[in-house]
Amino acid sequence: MSVTETRRSPSLSVESVTSFRGAELHELCDAAEAAIVDGGGFGWLSPPPRPTMEAYWKGVLLVPERELFLGRLDGTVAGSAQLVHPSANQEAARACGALTTFFVAPWARGHGLALRLVQAVEAAAREADLEVLNLDVRETQTRAIEIYGQLGFTCWGTHPRYVRIDGRWHAGHYYYKDLRPAREDAEQR
């Protein structure tokens, strides 16, 4: 690249979706498979058959308590996250939501999309009047752990036998973030 050429910044976007349009499902499956192969999956250790993956994502859209966020890099779906709202029978936890199934495909990392996905979930949780956002993460997900720390999540515990991969146990960390304004928190003490 010559000195006179300028590098274009990639276009990033995040949105909550209630249905898949065009190639979104295909792109989401491709991104998820790439993340799983790279070790950044959300439970799967190897990509399932494509029909299973497609059925999973279609099923997410059917669950009323789940809100799916798609992250795009230059218009292509490159990651996702979900906000899980409390179900009707969870009266005691009605102020608590959960961030889950958060990933960005390896080819889309390093542009800030992961940060934007988490921020979008947090904003949606606040908009839904949730007061706490919970999540858990495998110890090997170091970039996700950095993002949670950067955004003010608090690690409250570690489970030493959170998951077993290739015969070896890995720890998992549990996080929360208080979404109430600091003043309101102080008034309730």
The confidence score (pLDDT) of residue 186 equals 47
What average pLDDT does range 98-124 have in this prediction?
Answer: 96
User: What is the percent of the chain with per-residue pLDDT over 90, rounded to a whole number?
Assistant: 78
The confidence score (pLDDT) of residue 184 equals 52
Q: How far apart are CA 141 and CA 172, in angstroms?
A: 9
Q: Kindly list the distances between the CA atom of residue 37 and the CA atoms of 44, 45, 99, 159, 165, in Å, as whole numbers in the listed order.
A: 9, 7, 22, 24, 13
Q: Is the pLDDT of residue 7 over 80?
A: no
pLDDT in tens, 31-51: 999 999 998 767 888 999 999
Q: Name which of 90-94, 158-162, 167-171 the model is least confident about.
A: 90-94
Domains of the chain in sequence order: 12-135 (3.40.630.30)
CA angle 133–136–142, rounded 5-degree value? 115
The confidence score (pLDDT) of residue 3 equals 52
The confidence score (pLDDT) of residue 169 equals 96
Four-residue CA torsion sign, 127, 128, 130, 133: negative
The confidence score (pLDDT) of residue 40 equals 73
Mean pLDDT of the chain: 91
Exposed/middle/buried for residue 121 (C-beta within 10 Å: 0-12, 13-18, 19+): buried
Q: Is the pLDDT of residue 1 over 70?
A: no
